[in-house]
Amino acid sequence: MTVQLNHTIIEAHDKKETAAFLTEVLGLGEPVSYGPFAVVQAANGVSLDVMRTDAPVHPQHYAFLVSEDEFDQIFGRITERGLEYWADPYGREPGRINHNDGGRGVYWNDPNGHRLEIITRPYGG
């Protein structure tokens, strides 16, 4: 099979703010405008197409596989910004990271309430 996830849409109250938040915290390249989207490109070819909505945002979950060095850098930016973070997806373990699957992981929210996650090992890996 050659089916690959190519892009997904991220609903946002403020498209520019959300795209900048993603690229700055994750350390990705500048967003690119494409039609109604601010396109954030992940390293594996999947793009996150941020789209403004005036309707209430339905919070989604977006997880990113990162290296140990990248985890340090991204987690550093999360704490520098004073963002809340959790070791678990339900927000029951604030101020902690997890060590699931022998790696490290942490959850935090984007400005719209989307729950973001970085992991250094894939689930079950």
For 37, the token pair is: 């989207």
Judged by CB under 5 A, the stretch of 5-13, 78-86, 97-105, 110-118 that binds Fe ion is: 110-118
In the complex with Fe ion, which residue's Cβ is closer, 46 or 63?
63
Distance from C-alpha of 31 to C-alpha of 124, rounded to nearest angstrom: 31
Residues in the chain: 125
Nearest alpha carbon to residue 17 among 52, 47, 48: 52
- By beta-carbon proximity to Fe ion, the closer residue of 2 and 44 is 44
Q: How far apart are CB 30 and Fe ion at their closest, in Å?
A: 26
When asked if residue 117 is in the footprint of Fe ion (CB under 5 A), the reply is yes
Rule CB under 5 A: choose which of 9, 39, 42, 63 binds Fe ion: 63
Chain position whose Cβ is nearest to Fe ion: 63
Give the shortest CB-89-to-Fe ion separation in angstroms: 6
Q: How far is CA 6 from the centre of its chain?
A: 16
Whether 97 and 85 have beta carbons less than 8 Å apart is answered as: yes
Binding site for Fe ion (CB under 5 A): 63, 117
